[in-house]
C-alpha cells in the first residue's frame, strides 16, 4: 500500500534517492537545490544508505566527479540549480557524448543577470541541446515519480543517456504537498541494480572514455546520440506503463487537460500548469467556452508528432515560455511547438507568450485574458502580441514594434 506523506519537492527527491541508494553523489550547494544533497548527507550520516557522498569545490567539479564515477561503473547522481548548472556546462556535453546514464536533479532557477534566485526555466532551456533527456514536473508528486522513472530510462541499453529531472525552484522545491510514496522494496525492484556493460574498472576489458575525436569520428558520435534520443521515446513510454502498473499513476510525454473538445489551448511546462487548470475550470463553468491545456512533461526528446496531433483540432494556441531566448518570434517551447505544427500542416493560429521570468507570478485572471485573446485571434485571424510578456508592469514596453 502506498505511503501518504507531506513533503517538499526537494524532500521528495531526497527520499527517492534514499530508496534507490545510488553508489556515488558528488554535489556542491546552490539555492534552491541545496537541500537535496543536505538531506542525502543526513541519510548517509545516519547509516540509512551507503551512498558515497563527495563534497567538491564547485559545480563543475560536481559534474566532473559524477562523470568519472559513472564512467568507472557506478550509479552516479548529482543536483544543482541555475548558475551552478551553467558552471557544469562543459561537463553536460561530456556526460551526454560519453553516453553516461547520470541522473541530475535540477531545481529550476533564473540565470544571472541580474541576480535572481527564483524560478524560471532559463537554466534547463539553455541546456536543451546538450544531449540530455529533460523531464519536467508540475507538482511534488510528479517530481518524486519522475525521479524514480529517470533511472530505468537512462540505464536502458537502447538509451544510455543522462536525464535531467526538473522542478520549479521554491514553488515545488520548498512548497509542501501531500504525496504518495512507493514502498522501498517496490522502488528497488522497479529501478533494479545498475549493471553497466562497459566501464573503466571492468577487470577484463580495456577501454577509454572521452578520447579526442578527430573529424572522421565526431559526426558519427552525434548521430549515435540522436539515435539514442529517438529510441528513448519508446523507453519513456514503456517505463511509464510499468510505473502505472505499480502505482496507478499515468504518465506520458505530456498531459492533456480538457482537450477532448477544446477550441482554444495553452501549452505550458511546469508548476504554472496548476494555475492554468484552475482557469480552464473557471472559464468552462462560467462561460462554457471550450478551453484546454497541454502540459509538457518530456521536452527532450521532444514529442513533435504527438503534440501536433493533440493540437490538430483547436482554433488557436498560446505557447507559454518561462525562458527568454531573444529569437525574433518565440521562446524555446514556442519554437518547438510551432515547428511541430508547421511540419504537420496545422491550421490553428499560434501566439507565443513569456511569463514568470525570475519567479514573477501568473494568475488565473492572466490565463483568462490569454484565452480571451485566443478567441479574438481565432475570430479575426490576426495574431496580436506575439512577443508579449504576461504580467509586465504598466508603462513597460509590452510588444516588439
Cell of 357: 521570468
Which band of pLDDT confidence, cut at 50, 70 and 90, is reported for residue 367?
very high
Contacts of 356 (CB under 8 A, 6+ apart): 119, 120, 272, 322, 362, 390, 391
Predicted pLDDT of residue 401: 45
Percent of the chain with pLDDT over 70: 98
What pLDDT was estimated at residue 386?
78
Q: What is the DSSP string of 341-386?
A: HHHTT--SEEEEEE--GGG----HHHHHHHHHHHHHHHHH-----T
Residue 397 pLDDT more than 70?
A: no
- What confidence score (pLDDT) does residue 207 get? 87
Q: Summarize the confidence of residues 344-350 as an average pLDDT.
A: 96
- Can you give the pLDDT at residue 211? 85
According to DSSP, the residues that pair with 164 across neighbouring strands are: 104, 134
Query: Strand, coil or helix: what is 276?
Result: helix
Residue 395: pLDDT band (50, 70, 90) is low
Contact of 61 with 185, CB cutoff 8 Å: no
Q: What is the pLDDT of residue 399?
A: 53
Q: With the CA atoms of 67, 72, 73 and 77 taken in that order, what torsion angle do they form, in degrees rounded to the nearest 10?
A: -30
Asked whether residue 398 carries a pLDDT value surpassing 70, the answer given is no
Kindly state the percentage of the chain with pLDDT values over 90.
93
* pLDDT tens digits, one per residue of 153-201: 999 999 999 999 999 999 999 999 999 999 999 999 999 999 999 999 9
Alpha-carbon distance of 16 to 10, in angstroms, equals 10
pLDDT at position 28 is 98
What is the mean predicted confidence (pLDDT) over 345-355?
96
Look-up of cell digits 553516461 = 100
User: Could you give the C-alpha distances from 239 to 139, 158, 229, in angstroms and in order?
Assistant: 19, 13, 15
pLDDT greater than 90 at residue 364? yes
In this structure, the chain runs to a length of: 401
User: What is the per-residue pLDDT for 208?
Assistant: 87
Measured CA to CA, the distance from residue 101 to residue 380 in angstroms comes to 49
Express each pLDDT in 189-246 by its tens digit. Answer: 999 999 999 999 999 988 888 889 999 999 999 999 999 999 999 999 999 999 999 9
CB 20 within 8 A of CB 188: yes
The answer, yes or no, to whether residue 394 has pLDDT greater than 90, is: no
Average pLDDT, the chain: 96
Other beta carbons less than 10 A from residue 203's beta carbon: 4
Distance CA 394, CA 234 (A): 46
Q: Average pLDDT of 240-269?
A: 98
Amino acid at each position: 500500500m502506498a505511503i501518504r506523506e507531506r513533503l517538499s519537492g526537494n524532500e521528495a527527491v531526497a527520499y527517492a534517492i534514499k530508496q534507490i541508494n545510488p553508489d556515488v553523489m558528488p554535489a556542491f550547494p546552490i539555492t534552491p537545490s541545496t537541500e537535496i544533497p543536505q538531506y542525502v548527507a543526513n541519510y548517509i550520516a545516519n547509516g540509512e544508505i551507503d551512498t558515497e557522498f563527495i563534497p567538491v569545490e564547485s559545480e563543475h567539479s560536481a559534474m566532473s566527479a559524477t562523470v568519472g564515477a559513472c564512467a568507472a561503473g557506478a550509479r552516479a547522481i548529482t543536483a544543482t540549480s541555475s548558475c551552478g548548472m551553467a558552471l557544469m556546462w562543459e561537463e553536460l556535453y561530456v556526460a551526454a557524448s560519453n553516453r553516461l546514464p547520470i541522473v541530475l536533479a535540477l531545481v529550476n532557477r533564473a540565470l544571472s543577470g541580474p541576480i535572481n534566485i527564483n524560478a524560471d526555466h532559463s537554466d534547463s532551456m539553455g541546456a536543451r541541446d546538450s544531449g540530455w533527456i529533460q523531464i519536467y514536473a508540475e507538482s511534488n508528486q510528479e517530481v518524486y515519480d519522475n525521479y524514480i522513472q529517470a533511472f530505468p530510462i537512462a540505464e536502458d541499453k537502447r538509451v544510455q543517456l543522462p536525464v535531467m529531472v526538473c522542478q520549479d525552484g521554491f514553488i515545488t522545491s520548498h512548497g509542501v504537498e501531500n504525496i504518495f510514496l512507493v514502498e522501498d522494496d517496490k522502488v528497488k525492484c522497479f529501478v533494479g541494480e545498475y549493471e553497466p556493460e562497459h566501464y573503466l574498472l571492468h577487470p577484463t576489458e580495456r577501454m577509454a572514455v572521452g578520447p579526442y575525436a578527430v573529424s572522421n569520428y565526431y559526426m558519427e558520435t552525434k548521430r549515435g546520440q540522436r539515435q539514442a534520443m529517438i529510441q528513448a521515446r519508446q523507453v519513456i513510454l514503456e517505463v511509464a506503463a510499468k510505473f502505472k502498473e505499480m502505482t496507478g499513476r499515468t504518465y506520458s510525454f505530456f498531459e492533456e487537460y480538457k482537450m477532448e473538445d477544446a477550441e482554444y489551448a495553452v501549452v505550458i511546462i511546469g508548476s504554472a500548469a496548476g494555475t492554468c487548470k484552475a482557469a480552464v475550470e473557471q472559464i468552462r463553468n462560467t462561460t462554457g467556452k471550450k478551453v484546454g491545456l497541454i502540459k509538457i512533461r518530456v521536452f527532450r526528446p521532444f514529442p513533435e508528432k504527438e503534440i501536433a496531433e493533440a493540437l490538430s483540432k483547436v482554433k488557436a494556441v498560446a505557447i507559454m515560455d518561462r525562458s527568454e531566448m531573444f529569437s525574433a518570434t518565440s521562446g524555446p517551447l514556442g519554437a518547438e511547438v510551432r515547428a511541430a505544427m508547421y511540419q504537420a500542416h496545422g491550421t490553428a493560429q499560434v501566439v507565443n507568450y513569456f511569463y514568470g521570468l525570475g519567479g514573477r507570478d501568473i494568475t488565473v485572471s492572466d490565463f483568462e485574458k490569454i484565452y480571451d485573446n485566443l478567441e479574438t485571434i481565432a475570430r479575426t485571424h490576426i495574431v496580436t502580441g506575439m512577443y508579449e510578456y504576461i504580467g509586465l508592469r504598466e508603462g513597460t514596453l509590452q510588444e516588439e514594434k
